[in-house]
Amino acid sequence: MQAAVMHRQMDASFSWDDFNWLRKLWPRKLLVKGIMRPDDAERCIDAGADGVILSNHGGRQLDVAVSPLDVLAESRTRISAPILIDSGYRRGTDIVKALALGANVVLLGRAPLYGLAAAGEVGVDDVVRLLKDEVDRTLAQIGCASASRLSPDYVLADGPMPTTTSPSVRTFAKVSG
């Protein structure tokens, strides 16, 4: 039964010609969800999309799919249009990473749904508050005054990360390891 439902929902025959038809038909903002390659993000914008949503749909059907976070930075270098991202954001640190790497918006799915299931609207409010607090705390810990000031420099290092371990501890670790 589930396979039959999935077959009806996943139509691999959708083509760029279909997208062009849809773009001509739809005069409002058009975002394309399910983008997992930077070249496809670029092609969407070139074909008239107003933005893209990088998503592997939570990895539910294909658990070996690349993470949208892995294609975000390169997608941002290729397009200036809005990039939204989803697929498993459940911590404030993950939201900060996505914003720093170029996402304009981080979409939340399961976390608010868990809050809704547990406590209704109050549960959703609690989840959003927790995530906001985690984002604020993360920004403070990395020394960034505002999410609008984030850049890849906050999450990517040029070369090896500096160590705070004293030489004697490193030596001990090598001897005993």
- Whether residue 7 lies in the annotated active site: no
Residue 12 pLDDT class (50, 70, 90 cuts): confident
User: For 109-141, what is each residue's pLDDT tens digit?
Assistant: 889 999 999 999 999 999 999 999 999 999 999
Rg, C-alpha atoms of the chain: 20
What CA–CA distance (Å, rounded) separates 132 from 125? 10
Choose the catalytic residue: 30, 48, 57, 147: 57
Domains recognised in the chain with CATH numbers: 2-176 (3.20.20.70)
What CA–CA distance (Å, rounded) separates 149 from 72? 17
pTM: 0.81
